[in-house]
Amino acid sequence: METITKAQLDNLIKKAEAGLEAEYTLGLTYYNGAADGVPKDDEKAATWWQKAANQGHAHAQSFLARLYQEGWGVRKDNVTAYMWFSLAYTNGVKGADNEREKLRQDENMTDTQIKEAEKRCKDCLDRGYKQYPFNR
């Protein structure tokens, strides 16, 4: 690999950060249908938030958890929702732990489901979020 300057490194970091934020923002745009000519589309929101969540974007993880919890744009999956709420909380989203507990109680999640969600969370962290399956 060739050597790069500090300025080139800073530029590369800036581009990488912009990409991640752009994915998250696109998710918000589709979720809200906020732009002229862009209708609300939960499936597209899920696609973009999944990309950002898989790179550790905490707020994308929290929003993605909500989609799985409700079955908006994805197949309803409480175990996956619990996992994403756990990851969001681990990454600093205040209130994600409360959302996770509310999900557990409201959906009467079993100990087996909670253990599976916790296993997925650990696996996801151990792999650095790489290639986590996107349930549809």
* Residue-range domain boundaries for the chain: 6-126
Q: Which of the pair, 62 or 48, is modelled with greater confidence? A: 62
Range name among 10-24, 51-65, 97-111 with the lowest pLDDT average: 10-24
Assess whether pLDDT exceeds 80 at residue 2. Answer: no
Query: Is this structure's pTM higher than 0.75?
Result: yes
Range name among 9-23, 37-51, 76-90 with the lowest pLDDT average: 9-23
Superfamily of domain 6-126: Tetratricopeptide repeat domain (1.25.40.10)
What is the C-alpha separation between 52 and 61, in angstroms, rounded? 8
CA 81 vs. chain centroid, Å, equals 10
What is the C-alpha separation between 95 and 90, in angstroms, rounded? 11
Per-residue confidence (pLDDT) for residue 1, from 0 to 100: 47
